[in-house]
Amino acid sequence: KNQTILTRSELAEIDKKHYLHPTTPPKLHYLQGPSTIFSEGKGVYLKDIEGKERIDGVSMLWNVNLGYGNEELAEAAKEQMLKLSYSSSFSGQSNEPAILLSQKVASLAPGDLNVCFFTSGGSESNDTAFKLARFYWKLKGKPERTKIISLEQSFHGVTVGATSATGIEGFQNFTTSNAPNFLKAEAHALEAELGDKNAPNYSRSIRGVIEAEGADTIAAVIVEPIQGAGGVRFPPEGYLQAVRKLCDEHGILMIADEVICGFGRTGKMFGVENYEVVPDFLCVAKGISSGYAHLGAVVMREHIREVFVKSDEMMFHGFTYSGHPMACAVGLKNLEIIERDQLVENSRIRGEELLRGLKFLESNFKHVTQVRGLGLLAGIELLKDPENGVPFDPTDHAAARYTEICMNLGLQLRSFDWKGTNTVALAPPLIITKKQVEDMINIMSDALIAFEKQV
Ligand code: PLP
């Protein structure tokens, strides 16, 4: 009964005319229309309008962690919409789902990360953390601490603040101007962060940037525990701990962008738990609602809240949809299901199987290399000649071509062809079964056979 009455080509024509798409070349889209029109999803499977079924091997945008068509989440949304469809959290007003979700998130977050500010997504969460970090310093009588340091190749979102923090060049250069007081440091420069002044990249490390700028001008450092859109890049061992220590040395606040890692993606509830680090702010979105509602949060430590509540200053910050009752009801149910069905544990175990499968591909196929993964977050590199470190020509768009083949064979993945890398990202829903992981690897294997014939 939900069947559309329009054909695919009719929908595509409307799309071309009226719909400007994110991270899509407008010209190409205007000429060609949508590459896929999705119409249904159930569990880890997606169907497009032509009826072709695929495994979603990347949880769409690393967010559909409970998979599609979850009836309990749909029920939670419906029930809350009928009970109280909307209420504001301004002027001290509140609602039950938001109150309970703040308690739930506080109970799951490590250390004394106990206080939540709700947003509608990851960019808003990061922008909120930047503003709250500056608000904190203002209240502490150090308004000159304004600068935010982030890493090259990072992705923190697309609002003005989040884009200014984002390291991936395409996003930085999209428009003519970004916000001031955002500084970039080389990603994962472990030796330098540990204080080795002879490290070749010392001046470009977070430590080097802090020293050059003066620690008393820096409000916060933001890092993803594992870089996602930058190409599923894992930090070297000890890196996050070194950044935490560096921030402590200089009294700088540490923000962890857990928008991808949060709520089980890495086989722990939060990415930072793999590194035994407690940031001052922890930004979440995506997995907090498994994509069933627009929801994000900034979780902060007690010492941040203490500074806020000692002051008489107003919180001149907040979104119409901060603490949206339906979104929070869905978030709460989502977290209950993750705990009840032990999906963090499933992420860890299935992740090990996925990694084994990817290593099998690496040892059997010439172009696959640098296989890495933690929980259900994994990446591979495609190189023309891994033995001699020869990359594909950038014009080959090797990863995009490979994921296109996977798509045709029934598996949705994501590709990142930038800065001389050809990365394929994997992040299937946390509900995935052993058999479905095997199916993913089999499809990837068939796709590699086809890819080898093409290149
Ligand atoms: N931070 C990270 C690490 C992300 O991967 C993303 C989105 O992919 C964001 C922030 C932005 O989140 P949103 O698109 O919900 O604004």
Q: In this predicted model, what pLDDT tens digit does every residue of 218-244 receive, in sequence order?
A: 999 999 999 999 999 999 999 999 999
- CA of 401 from ligand 1 middle (Å) equals 24
Model pLDDT, residue 122:
98
59 exposed, middle or buried (CB, 10 Å; 0-12, 13-18, 19+)? buried
CA-122 nearest atom, ligand 1 = 12
End-to-end CA distance of the chain: 45
**Structural contact between residues 304 and 115, judged by C-beta atoms closer than 8 angstroms:** yes
What local confidence, expressed as pLDDT, does residue 3 receive?
58
- Distance (angstroms) between ligand 1 centre and the Cα of 132 equals 18
Beta strands in 123-246 (DSSP E): 147-151, 182-185, 218-223
- Find the 285 Cα to ligand 1 centroid distance in Å: 8
d(Cα 242, Cα 205) in Å, to the nearest integer? 12
- Look at ligand 1, atom 1, and give the residue with the nearest C-alpha: 156
User: Distance between CA 346 and CA 274 in Å, rounded?
Assistant: 16
Read off the amino acid at residue 192. Answer: A
> What is residue 204's predicted lDDT score, i.e. its pLDDT?
98
CA of 122 to the centre of ligand 1 (A): 5
Domains and CATH numbers, the chain: 36-69+342-454 (3.90.1150.10), 72-340 (3.40.640.10)
- List, as one string, the DSSP characters of 221-281: EEE-SSBSTTTSBPPPTTHHHHHHHHHHHHT-EEEEE-TTTTTTTTSSSSGGGGTT---SE
Distance 9 CA to ligand 1 centre (A): 31
Q: Which of 159, 233, 258, 260 to mutate to test the pocket of ligand 1 (most atoms within 8 A of CB)?
A: 260
Task: In whole angstroms, give the CA distance from residue 25 to residue 174.
Answer: 12
Which residue from 59, 150, 155, 265 has its CB within 8 A of the most atoms of ligand 1, so it is best to mutate? 155
pLDDT of residue 4: 64
Ligand 1 mean position to 22 CA, how many Å?
13
CB 367 within 8 A of CB 448: yes
Task: Centre a 10 Å sphere on the Cβ of residue 178 and count the other Cβ atoms it contains.
Answer: 16
Question: Measured between alpha carbons, how far is 398 from 383 in angstroms, rounded to an integer?
Answer: 8
Give the residue whose CA is nearest to atom 13 of ligand 1: 122
pLDDT tens profile 370-402: 999 999 999 999 999 999 999 999 999 999 999
Helix H or strand E segment including 436: helix 434-454
Judge whether 412 and 441 are in contact, CB under 8 Å: no
User: Per-residue pLDDT tens for 137-162?
Assistant: 999 999 999 999 999 999 999 999 99
Testing ligand 1's pocket by substitution, the residue of 126, 164, 286 carrying the most ligand atoms inside 8 A of its CB is 286
pLDDT of the residue at 419: 79
What is the model's pLDDT at position 205?
A: 98
Residues with CB under 6 A from ligand 1: 61, 121-123, 126, 155-157, 224, 228-229, 257, 259-260, 285
Q: Specify the ligand 1 atom closest to the Cα of 121.
A: 15
CA distance 150 to 178: 14
pLDDT beneath 50, residues of the chain: 1
Question: Contact 65/343 with Cβ under 8 angstroms?
Answer: yes
Distance set, CA 191 to CA 41, 77, 231 (Å): 46, 48, 22
* DSSP-assigned beta bridge partners for residue 151: 185
State the closest ligand 1 atom to the C-alpha of 229, by its place in the atom list counted from 1.
Answer: 5
Distance (Å, whole) CA 46 – CA 410 = 9
In the reported structure, the alpha carbon of residue 256 is separated from the centroid of ligand 1 by a whole-number distance in angstroms of 12
Q: With contact defined as beta carbons under 8 Å apart, do 446 and 84 qualify?
A: no
pTM over 0.90: yes
Q: Tell me the CB-side half-sphere exposure of residue 232, using CA atoms within 13 A.
A: 27
Determine the distance from the C-alpha atom of residue 139 to the mean position of all C-alpha atoms in its chain, rounded to a whole number.
30
State which H helix or E strand residue 48 sits in. Answer: strand 45-48
pLDDT of residue 420: 81
Tokens (6 digits) for 61: 């945008």
Strands (E), 157-228: 182-185, 218-223
